[in-house]
Amino acid sequence: MAELQIEYGKVSCKNLGNGYSENNSDVLLNSLQLIQKYNYSAEEHIVVTKNGYQLKTFRLPNKGPPVLLVHGIGDSSDSWLVLGPQYSLAYLLADAGFDVWLFNARGNRYSKKHTGKPSRKSYWNFSYEEIGSEDVPATIDYILSTTRHSKLTYIGFSQGTTVFFVMCSLLPEYNSVINHAILLAPVAWMKYIKYPLIDFFSQNLNNLISLDTKLKVYEVFPFNINLNIYHSLVCNVHSPFKLLCELELFVNFGLKTFTNLLPDRLPIIMSHIPVGTSSKTFFHFIQGYGTKRFQRFDYGIEKNQKVYASSLPPEYDVSLITAPMTLVVSEEDWFSDTNDVEILRSRLKTVDKYVVINKSLQFTHLEFVYGSRVNTIINKPVINILKTLTSR
């Protein structure tokens, strides 16, 4: 950690340029730079959706079958890289010979461009539905066209699972191009979510939406280099201010100790999140908690009639999903509660494996991607599933 502290001492808003040398800490590196730093082959691709959003997709090319990794809310492709080659799933899959593709949803730090010139309000008028019904299908089409494979394996975390359910429900033809879906901390129904502030947000949702419209916010938790550097400083086990980071992680995720994440990598993890999404995406999730339904966005009775020909938004019909799936849940997860996943599971027809991580392990939501035990609990089992699929 001493070396990292020296690096942090050099960091200031004044000396942050557009390009960083290989000697810089990983705190400052984007996805492409992280891949290249550790001597992996790296490619950058631009996927364009049918309505003009440009999605920057990263690839660790290999001769093996393609695997698509889809991040959680307010996150990016960085999430599959920041733990470094020994712990991050993207590197481990590449080591195992798979052709690894890293998705970036519209609106995050990598995917903020558009082929047209939409107004700010128009650009940010999306929720997880559009990510699932437009961004993910466009990315899958691009990968299959580029690799000339007929199918790929899908790995999603948190919102990365939500958008999978949306895609395969609204566009059931995409079920046929999914070899297998491994869904980590799946989120659909949110009746039992344990996030402490969810009741407050739900009870004040209409006011929040009105305020958002009045202030023309539209984007929330954008990538901010100053905030990320702050996180890299306070989320250091040697920092005298580490309590600020501990409180943030506990309040937001129920994480009780730094040791459940990789302490040496924690400044790097926290300097890469959040990276931006639309306020509408958060509103959509909060609606789901309030209604206890996994449903399309609720615009109110009048607009719902115009959009859906119904006063209520339709539910996503997950019974239409036919792709084979593995669900991995933790009894200690605030956001993917096992009771909610049981509701989901009861409506799914093609769950091959259902893995429940025991409460005694205190395995929280962040740990599915960023945890110190991620190799034994998540990564190795995931890679074993993929190797089994390729050996058939």
Q: What is the dihedral of CA 212, 76, 298, 253, to 10 degrees?
A: -80
279: tokens are 């306020």
SS3 (DSSP) at 94: helix
State the amino acid at position 77 in one-letter form: S
Concerning whether 365 is annotated as a catalytic residue, the answer is yes
How crowded is residue 85: how many other Cβ atoms within 10 Å of its Cβ? 17
Catalytic residue (choose from 31, 271, 365, 372): 365
The strand ranges marked E within the chain are: 43-48, 53-60, 66-70, 99-102, 113-114, 152-157, 178-184, 219-220, 277-278, 325-330, 351-357
Concerning whether 272 is annotated as a catalytic residue, the answer is no
List, as one string, the DSSP characters of 253-277: H----GGGB-GGGHHHHHTT----E
How crowded is residue 123: how many other Cβ atoms within 10 Å of its Cβ? 20
**Cα gap 166→147, rounded to integer Å:** 25
DSSP class of 376: I
Catalytic residue (choose from 25, 76, 127, 158): 158
Which H, E and C letters describe 6-34, residue by residue?
A: HHHHHCCHHHCCCCCCCCCCHHHCCHHHH
Geometric angle at alpha carbon 270, from 7 and 255, rounded to 5°: 130
Positions annotated as catalytic residues are: 158, 365
